[in-house]
Structure 1
């Protein structure tokens, strides 16, 4: 009998069904297996699923295609991570456009306590490579997981420097796990498996077509607590990653460059348009995210200030969720509580004024203990 993982993979192979529709189907049917067991009439009642899409879901052959994917994953020693799985990255779960399914190969913890995205031009200068190395060497004491895209230039410099400094590093790919692009980075990609890993939403055998790279960039942004653009032209993938990071409420830094250098234009533009903070030294990142104060570590105290008797159910729910974690990003808090972002921001502000919650860098929140 097909497993639930096979059904989950099969959902991503149905033409016209993307991550948002997959979540709709799971919400109405209960599980991926239940989706394929549902009659046509029931599927057609799911919002966004018309008759054509419903028939495509039930079309014979998609399960056998998923079985072939599982066979290729087994040969690679890779795993398929559905958005409901515990191992799926928590940072991605609250994002409306996060992949419903990811393919992962490696040893890294996708839910590391601290993550840093490093991106930039494929035509990196010596200056850009030196800054990249400087950043990574500076964050070694903070046990940070480095995220990048395995591309030429800044990306590969970030991965190789991470390996040299024994930091976990994750390469987010636009292709399938079995197609390393560019191929000259095959050895680095292999070395990363024991210390980090490779991650993609593309099934094995997928070639790195141009339209897949912007989608790849959103995963880099979503996985990162902070994104640093080291060098970038006025247009390009690094700026797309920064745009996603801003949309996801991540911290964004850009390394300034000389005015007459083409691959400083993008960074200077981000700073000018207030889409990135200016990077001047590694301390900018460390202090902004309060890594030097150990804010990501759970507090040894566990007593809340006396709670008012008129606290609302939503306020109590938010406090309960925050007590379960050392800290939570506002997106994750909204997702877990199912409280709309606008109302949640107001609730958090009220709780902060009352002394129950404190705001942290990177749009994160934590409970105040006494």
Structure 2
């Protein structure tokens, strides 16, 4: 991509009423960002879904001037630009209709043919949340995943620090330009992250960490990854937005369950309750559900629960699944002679105890 091409891409990105979906539509029709800006307005109005109000600012030359200034920052700071039509753009994000038309990258990010997971959650992470996050990354390290997060307080920075501890690549998705660090206290981690990963953002050096930017940033976190894991979340929070976006992209979402009395588990429990996320009580359920294959002799151990800990109904279902392997909820209820609503509750308790796991297609099996 030449500097000339980039200037027009940046100029189009800077037009207030042209979002990423519209920009992609215009580029697909005209062939390039430069062709869009140089095209006659009446020709662009013939494109389905393009209205006059969207185009009123396209021809404003201030956007080209602003783009030239941003290009100067990009050059002076060795920023890598990832255009959505280029090979270096994150592959999974290419399939997201509202993915940014251009991303800015610092560090040594390498997402090619990698296992990419996002780890998000509350900024008020508890000690149990930290413990699970550590257990998760420690056990997944053998699969060498890239850990994606938002570089924020709490869960985000916990996950990224643990990734560094286990020599995993980690990428922070930012809600502002690459000329600043937010929160400022995390500046101490920037150099280390850029040595083994780096940062991605769609925002220019003129962008500050405004509230709406964080919501836009969340779609990059969800879109770059094959799965999103919510460690802890209150009933409302940005990590739930990320989970919803991941669901809209047909990506897997996992949530760590907690006690009903724990405020920082309410969001995770609701994701599981309303079937918006897989229950994640054992870290090794994640590679199993994602069909990750381990190309090494170092097999991580899966801790099984003792049979004597099961209740009477749980023992019946456990024995049935042990013999018959993967089974549907209806089949379990029929063969074990229990109402479906009761079986659903028993299965959930057994998941929490770590003796069974759900599979795609609403199947269940013994671990």
Aligned-pair CA distance for 1:40: 2.9
Aligned pair count reads 297
- Is residue 243 of structure 2 the alignment partner of residue 242 of structure 1? yes
The two structures, once aligned, show a CA RMSD in angstroms of 1.9
8 Å CA contact 1:14, 1:62 repeated in 2: yes
Which segments of 5 or more consecutive residues in structure 1 lack a partner in the other structure?
Answer: 295-360, 364-370
Q: What SS class does the counterpart of residue 265 from structure 2 fall into?
A: helix
Aligned-pair CA distance for 1:96: 1.5
Aligned-pair CA distance for 1:52: 4.2
Q: What SS class does the counterpart of residue 284 from structure 2 fall into?
A: helix
Query: 1:93-133: CA deviations, max 9, x gaps?
Result: 11121111111112111334211110010011111111111
Q: Which residue of 1 aligns with 2:263?
A: 262
Aligned-pair CA distance for 1:205: 2.3
Any residues of structure 2 matched to 1:180-195 within 5 Å, and which? 180-195=181-196
Q: Which residue of 1 aligns with 2:199?
A: 198
Aligned-pair CA distance for 1:275: 1.1
Report the TM-score when normalising by structure 2. Answer: 0.77
- Is residue 146 of structure 2 the alignment partner of residue 145 of structure 1? yes
Query: Once superposed, which parts of structure 1, at least 4 consecutive aligned residues long, lie more than 4 Å away?
Result: none
Q: 1:2 to 1:199 in 2, by over 3 A?
A: closer
Aligned-pair CA distance for 1:9: 0.9
Aligned-pair CA distance for 1:161: 0.7
Q: What SS class does the counterpart of residue 69 from structure 1 fall into?
A: helix
Q: Which residue of 2 aligns with 1:289?
A: 290
8 Å CA contact 1:80, 1:101 repeated in 2: yes
Q: What SS class does the counterpart of residue 22 from structure 1 fall into?
A: helix
8 Å CA contact 2:246, 2:252 repeated in 1: yes
- Is residue 77 of structure 2 the alignment partner of residue 76 of structure 1? yes
Q: What SS class does the counterpart of residue 81 from structure 1 fall into?
A: strand
Report the TM-score when normalising by structure 1. Answer: 0.76
Query: Could you tell me how far apart the structure 2 residues matched to 1:265 and 1:113 are?
Result: 32
Query: Could you tell me how far apart the structure 2 residues matched to 1:52 and 1:211 are?
Result: 22
8 Å CA contact 1:116, 1:225 repeated in 2: yes
Query: Could you tell me how far apart the structure 1 residues matched to 2:90 and 2:6 are?
Result: 17
8 Å CA contact 2:247, 2:276 repeated in 1: yes
Q: Which residue of 1 aligns with 2:27?
A: 26
Query: 1:296-352: CA deviations, max 9, x gaps?
Result: xxxxxxxxxxxxxxxxxxxxxxxxxxxxxxxxxxxxxxxxxxxxxxxxxxxxxxxxx
Query: Could you tell me how far apart the structure 1 residues matched to 2:48 and 2:58 are?
Result: 15
- Is residue 119 of structure 2 the alignment partner of residue 130 of structure 1? no
Aligned-pair CA distance for 1:79: 1.8
8 Å CA contact 2:140, 2:284 repeated in 1: no
Aligned-pair CA distance for 1:210: 0.8
Aligned-pair CA distance for 1:266: 0.8
Larger radius of gyration: 2
- Is residue 217 of structure 2 the alignment partner of residue 216 of structure 1? yes
Q: Which residue of 2 aligns with 1:300?
A: none
Aligned-pair CA distance for 1:2: 5.8
Query: Could you tell me how far apart the structure 2 residues matched to 1:97 and 1:228 are?
Result: 21
Q: 1:32 to 1:183 in 2, by over 3 A?
A: same
